[in-house]
Amino acid sequence: MRMGNYSTMTKFFMVGLSKYPELQLFLFVLCLIMHVIILLRNSLLIVISTFDSRLHTPMYFFLGNLSFLDICYTSSSIPPMLVIFKSERKSISFIGCALQMVVSLGLGSTECILLAMMAYDRYVAICNPLRYPIIMNRVLYVHMAAWSWIIGCLNSLVQTVLTMVLPFCGNNVIDHITCEILALLKLICSDISINVLIMTVANIVLLVIPLLLILISYVFILSSILRINSAEERKKAFSTCSAHLTVVIFFHGSALFMYMKPKSKDTRASDEIIGLSYGVVTPMLNPIIYSMKDKEVKEAMKKVLSRHLNLLKS
């Protein structure tokens, strides 16, 4: 099938991990289970943070945004991935590929900024506890979350449009399991220097700088935690912050490996597995990590579950 450019391209063929059929079957089962866990745990966290008045704080507002983001992120990538794993004709339409890219890239960019906003929230809460209600007022934290979504979506829209309008010159075979922008750029036969420049700037602004701000925030946070006299309060502060830091390490570590390492022409299986780690594993771990580390979340979950059990018994 000879494909020309944006005007004639109708579909892409996904051949990622096609050399490993046993691995594809294993990943199909694993991703299906993980997707169910992601939907259930993140939905539960959203319900709890919405209906439990004790959790009507900036931190849980950001956490609710993160859970909603993870549901949308995985719902845009995992179902098509499962279809490709089981289908003999592993194809996706041009429009479907573009939509998957704009959604996944936009939500991934938003999560980078959102995690930095959550770090700032923890910094103010621990380093300036008396001024925390004044600084982190509702207007501020709603605007912080809104701008995270706006910037992430704008970045995704610009990069996706600049990629999909370029000529693919007959090559419509993507060596990946999703419509990953790095895999698509390898198919383009024209000059992609503008795309690479914009992607590099976006990586620095949305990935490296937020990570540096998070690490700087936690230097001050750790210093403040060590000065807390009460052992119980110190343990509570450390538990909450360690949950956030664990999520940051998982997400940013895999994202940095994917987008900041030297690029090769061929996609290796390890790249696709690493892509799964921040696209599937991290959204599954987020609610588990926060619910395990945070006493208030655990108590709220027990309260909601016991209420539903009582309703079922009655």
Burial of 49 by CB count in 10 Å (0-12 exposed, 13-18 middle, 19+ buried)? buried
User: Is 313 inside a domain boundary?
Assistant: no
Percent of the chain predicted with pLDDT > 90: 25
User: Is 66 inside a domain boundary?
Assistant: yes
Report the pLDDT value the prediction gives residue 301, as an integer from 0 to 100: 66
User: Is 6 inside a domain boundary?
Assistant: no
pLDDT band at 6 (very low <50, low <70, confident <90, very high): very low
Report the pLDDT value the prediction gives residue 141, as an integer from 0 to 100: 94
Residue pair 301/245 in contact by the 8 Å Cβ criterion: no
User: Is 263 inside a domain boundary?
Assistant: yes
Print the domain residue range for 260: 12-307
State the chain's mean pLDDT as an integer. 81
Is the predicted pLDDT of residue 98 greater than 70, yes or no? Answer: yes
User: Is 29 inside a domain boundary?
Assistant: yes
The answer to which of 63-67, 158-162, 231-235, 298-302 has the lowest mean pLDDT is 298-302
Report the pLDDT value the prediction gives residue 106, as an integer from 0 to 100: 93
| CATH value at residue 169 | 1.20.1070.10
What mean pLDDT do residues 164-185 have? 82
The answer to which of 1-5, 31-35, 98-102, 308-312 has the lowest mean pLDDT is 1-5
Q: How far is CA 139 from CA 55, 164, 192, in A?
A: 17, 37, 41
Report the pLDDT value the prediction gives residue 263, as an integer from 0 to 100: 55
pLDDT higher for 293 or 75?
75
The domain total for the chain is 1
pTM value is 0.83
- In the DSSP assignment, the letter for residue 265 is S
Please write the tens of the pLDDT for every residue from 205-248: 998 999 999 999 988 988 888 887 777 777 777 776 777 787 78
pLDDT higher for 69 or 262?
69
User: Is 272 inside a domain boundary?
Assistant: yes
Strand 173-174 versus strand 11-14 pairing type: parallel
Report the pLDDT value the prediction gives residue 313, as an integer from 0 to 100: 61
* Residue in the structure block whose two tokens are 């979950």: 301
Quote the CA–CA distance of 104 and 125 in Å, as a whole number. Answer: 31
Could you tell me where the beta strands, DSSP code E, fall in 59-165?
91-93
User: Is 314 inside a domain boundary?
Assistant: no
Residue pair 248/119 in contact by the 8 Å Cβ criterion: yes
Beta bridge partners, 91, equal 13
User: Is 64 inside a domain boundary?
Assistant: yes
